[in-house]
């Protein structure tokens, strides 16, 4: 959208409309820092209307897409909302992905996720709520350990960074909770693979595991979680890890809407050519996590679902859309990955850049420097920099933004039903409902 605005935003004969369920751009690599109270939630978002002043914007969920009639159905307005039908000449599908629960209702109903800004804020609130509960005098020392047991499922980037952030936040907040000892707190990371962060290789994965253990995180690899219940996490051998807080970061899956489209798919993602055009449907492009884009630098295998690929794909698609308006053919997408980085807590990180490996404080500093440079607009960079500076100077903020009283005062139309149910269930204010 940014590249289309630069090329087409001021033209009178072209209208570019962006459809999004949120009216802001979210910088997802820093979600775990919001959950850990390192950053304020407003620091990693920016209004789409401010970011794209020359484009039309529609806030809502895409509920239907007719590629033959060239129409898109967008619903908005909450529970009492309505739908609009938008017509188009060209459409770019950049719908991202959804959390993959692998068909298990337990994780869907009893676990938190880390995909949205609301997820990060809800997790932070949940962590504080658990500390408040465990510190209460009415609880016995033996009965509160499961309250301060936190389990993260999935050892990829999201899972590792979330586990490190939870561990940092909990132990950083304990000075305010005198009845909870460090020994009572248990932060566990469960991963089905041989080593965490498999994208970075076994050596950096092993380093990450050792560092997490050194920081106090219990890491279990080679274990596929059987289920998640109200009692806790069920392991393959039937063992139940008692906990009230589970974060599910075990992978992603393409949006369910794609299944209804009459296009060729590859593992659920839209199969496109090297120009990111959907074969058989002129004027339809797809990119990012929802598309299977051939990597011409890697034998035509699908590009990995990473932000650095999606950013470059967005620029190429924008150029190809402009070329199509002029009746010219588009260009193929070519990009070789530069590297990947992860922050693993306690000002430590791991990185593999241009084949070189980095770890420790330098990798953490590199992570912050690179991602700070990628934030859009100067004001966002300043907010994040100030947040990091304050985090270095002061202790963790343990203000519970969503408390039981506020939950009772919330009205259903203020949020989608699933989000409302999730918040109520996390706070323990109502029995678990069935989806």
Residue 288 sits at φ, ψ, to 5 deg, of 75, -155
Residue 280, in any domain of the structure:
yes
Q: Provide φ and ψ at 259, rounded to 5°.
A: -60, -25
Position 181 pLDDT exceeds 80 = yes
Domain count, the chain: 1
Q: Which residues pair with 1 in a beta bridge?
A: none
The pLDDT score that the predictor gives to residue 78 is: 64
Q: Tell me if 291 is assigned to some domain.
A: yes
pLDDT band at 416 (very low <50, low <70, confident <90, very high): very low
303 within some domain: yes
pLDDT in tens, 217-255: 999 999 999 999 999 999 999 999 999 999 999 999 999
pLDDT at residue 424 greater than cutoff 60: no
50 is a domain residue: yes
Res 145 pLDDT > 90 = no
* Residue 211 pLDDT: 96
| Residue 106 domain-assigned (yes or no) | no
Q: Let me know if 329 is exposed, middle or buried by CB neighbors in 10 A (0-12, 13-18, 19+).
A: exposed
Predicted confidence (pLDDT) at residue 402 exceeds the cutoff of 50: yes
Q: What is the pLDDT of residues 284-316, one digit of tens each?
A: 999 999 999 999 999 999 999 999 999 999 999
- Asked whether residue 286 is assigned to any structural domain, the reply reads yes
Q: What is the pLDDT of residues 375-385, one digit of tens each?
A: 999 999 999 99
Residues 259-267 have a mean pLDDT of: 95
CA distance 57 to 119: 24
Asked if 324 and 277 touch (Cβ cutoff 8 Å), the reply is no
Residue 27 resides in a domain = yes
pLDDT digits (tens, 9 = 90+) for 1-26: 999 999 999 999 999 999 999 999 99
> 10 Å Cβ neighbour count for 246?
23
For residue 421, pLDDT over 50 is answered with no
Q: Quote the pLDDT of residue 76.
A: 83
- CATH value at residue 298: 3.50.50.60
Whether residue 418 is predicted with pLDDT greater than 50 in this model: the reply is no
Inside any domain, residue 236: no
SS3 content of the chain, % helix, strand, coil (to 5): 40, 25, 40
**Mean pLDDT of the chain, nearest integer:** 90
Closest CA to 248 of 37, 426, 414, 95: 426
Whole-number percent of the chain with pLDDT over 70 = 90
pLDDT of the residue at 144: 65
Q: Domain limits at 317?
A: 1-99+253-325
Report, as an integer, the average pLDDT of 337-363: 94
pLDDT in tens, 76-134: 876 667 899 999 999 999 999 999 999 999 999 999 999 999 999 999 999 999 999 99
In percent, the amount of the chain with pLDDT more than 90 equals: 85
């Amino acid at each position: 959208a940014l590249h289309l605005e630069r090329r087409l935003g001021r033209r009178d004969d072209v209208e570019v409309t962006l459809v999004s369920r949120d009216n802001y751009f979210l910088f997802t690599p820093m979600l775990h820092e919001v959950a850990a109270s390192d950053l304020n939630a407003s620091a990693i978002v920016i209004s789409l209307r401010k970011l794209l002043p020359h484009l039309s914007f529609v806030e809502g969920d895409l509920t239907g897409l007719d590629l033959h009639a060239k129409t898109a159905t967008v619903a908005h307005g909450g529970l009492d909302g309505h739908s609009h039908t938008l017509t188009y000449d060209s459409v770019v599908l950049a719908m991202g992905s959804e959390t993959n629960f692998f068909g298990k209702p337990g994780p869907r109903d009893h676990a938190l996720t880390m995909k949205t800004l609301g997820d990060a804020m809800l997790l932070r609130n949940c962590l504080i709520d658990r500390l408040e509960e465990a510190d209460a005098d009415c609880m016995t020392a033996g009965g509160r350990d499961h309250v301060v047991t936190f389990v993260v499922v999935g050892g990829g980037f999201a899972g590792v960074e979330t586990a490190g952030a939870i561990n940092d936040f909990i132990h950083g907040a304990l000075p305010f909770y005198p009845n909870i000892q460090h020994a009572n707190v248990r932060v566990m990371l469960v991963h089905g693979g041989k080593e965490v962060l498999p994208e970075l290789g076994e050596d950096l994965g092993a380093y990450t595991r050792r560092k997490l253990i050194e920081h106090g995180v219990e890491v279990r690899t080679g274990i596929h979680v059987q289920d998640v219940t109200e009692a806790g996490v069920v392991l393959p051998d039937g063992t139940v890890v008692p906990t009230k807080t589970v974060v599910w970061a075990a992978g992603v899956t393409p949006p369910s809407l794609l299944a209804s489209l009459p296009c060729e798919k590859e593992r659920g993602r839209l199969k496109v050519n090297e120009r990111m055009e959907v074969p058989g449907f002129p004027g339809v492009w797809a990119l990012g996590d929802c598309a299977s884009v051939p990597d011409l630098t890697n034998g035509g295998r699908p590009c990995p679902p990473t932000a650095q690929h999606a950013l470059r794909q967005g620029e190429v698609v924008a150029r190809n859309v402009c070329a199509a308006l002029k009746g010219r053919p588009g260009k193929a997408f070519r990009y070789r990955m530069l590297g990947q980085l992860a922050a693993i807590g306690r000002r430590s990180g791991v990185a593999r850049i241009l084949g070189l490996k980095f770890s420790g404080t330098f990798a953490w500093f590199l992570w912050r420097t690179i991602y700070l440079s990628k934030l859009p607009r100067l004001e966002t960079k300043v907010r994040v920099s100030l947040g990091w500076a304050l985090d270095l100077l002061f202790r963790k903020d343990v203000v519970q933004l969503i408390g039981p009283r506020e939950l009772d005062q919330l009205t259903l139309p203020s949020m989608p039903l699933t989000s409302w149910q999730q918040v109520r269930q996390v706070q323990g204010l109502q029995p678990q409902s069935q989806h």
